[in-house]
Structure 1
Amino acid sequence: MPGLRLNLRGRTAANAAFATGYALVFHGAPQWLSARGLRVGLASAGVAAAGYGVALSVPALRAKLIEFADQEPEVSPIEWAAVHIPIGTAYSEELIFRGTLEPLLANTFGPRTGPMLGALTFGLWHIHPARTAGDSVPGTVALTTLGGLAFSWLRRRGGSTTAPFLHHWALNAGGVLAPRLARRFGPVGPAQ
């Protein structure tokens, strides 16, 4: 995909199209319309949002968030958080990894090994983005592999891909919006 040199909107469309095609070819079963998945997903997304709320309320953490506020996307932060993260990232990755690949791996390698292999694959999927951002590749792979294990647990707990999708969206959208809010409030809080 990097060779296509698409802008963010093009990458979002390409990611969603690829993920949908992948799921169709490999008989993905995301079970998006799951009440239990929605409940688990909203609860876990609430935990992520609360974590950002705590970080914004602690001056030292708010100061750290401000350091990330200058990473501007090609589009407005609202469009990025409301369109590109849910469709181009959370939908695409959750459909590929938790909705399609993980069940295939679980059927092939067993219910314990399959999710671990899926999480590791998810971690490796993030090598190119880490290089592009100048982030630590081993650190990114380790962190996203752990994230993949958490998303896998949410999928099993919620019985659908809806739960990890909502948590994934909340984490990434918070990562876009929280630094901008931190910058607005400043390291010691809004003026009284």
Structure 2
Amino acid sequence: MLAVCGVILLLVALNVADHYVHGSSLWLGPLAAVVLLVLARAIGLSWSELGLGRDRLGTGLRWAAVLIALVALVYLVGVLIPLTRDAFRDDRYHTGAAAAFFTAFVRIPIGTVLLEEVAFRSVLWGLLSRVLKPRWVLISTSLLFGCWHVLPSLNLAASNDAIRNALGGSSGAAQVVSVLGAVIFTSLGGVVFGELRRRSGSLLPSIGLHWATNALGVLFGLLAWRLSA
């Protein structure tokens, strides 16, 4: 459990640094992911325990491709229906096409998905699997994943049209509710990602779904703003 505590402390430091040092995730994220994998291997975790075994590569890629396609289909329908379009109109992504594509294909996969998946569904998952039953591995990594999103969601009520309208503004109370909602929502997302990791034996399906829900949200958000113009 000492190794688990060390990983959690490292993630807390990285989360704070990413929140207060603009652009740090693009270099801190990949560096931290490599460090975590090196430490995990040094401790004795196998590539299979980390969800990176070659024997599950093909299965993982197939699962990931199907999940990405499903998310794209759901988002497309959501953007095309006026009633649900506001959910995609996030002020943070009200940008030009170049910025949106950079965010979707560079910032999110390198600065967000890589570290989070390696940390929560690979290294922590592997370490906890040695001392906890599968159900508790899933619950604990999901809760930690939810808590990881406290700082990134602090301005959620002010930046997202649908959330701001639902909460009646962006006051302090609305921000608290939006943060709690984000933690609960991402914890549930962690359960989904974790189940994919457990059932497939590979990290790739959760990486694919994680990237799709975030990056395609940016791209379809751009489309939503264009359709609303």
Aligned to 2:218: 176
Q: Structure 2 length as normaliser, TM-score?
A: 0.73
Q: Distance in 1 between the 2:182 and 2:40 partners? A: 27
CA contact (8 A) 1:31 1:161 kept: yes
CA contact (8 A) 2:67 2:205 kept: yes
Q: SS of the counterpart of 1:160? A: coil
The superposition leaves residues 122-157 of structure 1 with CA deviations (integer Å, 9 ceiling, x where unpaired) of 111111111254552211111010000000111122
Amino acid of the structure 2 residue aligned with 1:164: S
In the alignment, structure 1 residue 140 sits paired with structure 2 residue 155: no
Task: Summarize the Cα distance change of 1:149–1:64 in structure 2 as closer, same or farther, 3 Å threshold.
Answer: closer
Aligned to 1:7: 22
Amino acid of the structure 1 residue aligned with 2:82: P
Q: SS of the counterpart of 1:180? A: helix
In the alignment, structure 1 residue 91 sits paired with structure 2 residue 147: no
Q: Which runs of structure 2 are paired with 1:24-173 in the superposition (5 Å)?
A: 24-27=38-41, 29-31=50-52, 34-66=57-89, 68=90, 70-72=91-93, 76-134=99-157, 135=175, 136-173=178-215
- The match for 1:21 among 22, 35, 42 is 35
CA contact (8 A) 2:51 2:197 kept: no
Task: Summarize the Cα distance change of 1:32–1:171 in structure 2 as closer, same or farther, 3 Å threshold.
Answer: farther
Cα offset, 1:117, TM superposition: 0.5
Task: Summarize the Cα distance change of 1:16–1:121 in structure 2 as closer, same or farther, 3 Å threshold.
Answer: same
Task: Summarize the Cα distance change of 1:151–1:183 in structure 2 as closer, same or farther, 3 Å threshold.
Answer: same
Identity, % of aligned positions: 32
Q: Distance in 2 between the 1:128 and 1:7 partners? A: 13
Task: Summarize the Cα distance change of 1:3–1:106 in structure 2 as closer, same or farther, 3 Å threshold.
Answer: closer
The superposition leaves residues 69-124 of structure 1 with CA deviations (integer Å, 9 ceiling, x where unpaired) of x3148981111100111111111100111011012112211111111101111111
Amino acid of the structure 1 residue aligned with 2:30: A
Bigger Cα displacement from structure 2, 27-36 vs 158-167: 27-36
Cα offset, 1:3, TM superposition: 4.5
Task: Summarize the Cα distance change of 1:97–1:64 in structure 2 as closer, same or farther, 3 Å threshold.
Answer: closer
Task: Summarize the Cα distance change of 1:24–1:73 in structure 2 as closer, same or farther, 3 Å threshold.
Answer: farther
Amino acid of the structure 2 residue aligned with 1:113: W
Count of residues in Structure 1 that have an aligned counterpart in Structure 2: 184
Q: Structure 1 length as normaliser, TM-score?
A: 0.86
Q: Distance in 2 between the 1:35 and 1:43 partners? A: 13
CA RMSD, 1 decimal: 2.2
Bigger Cα displacement from structure 2, 21-30 vs 171-180: 21-30
More helix by proportion, 1 or 2?
2
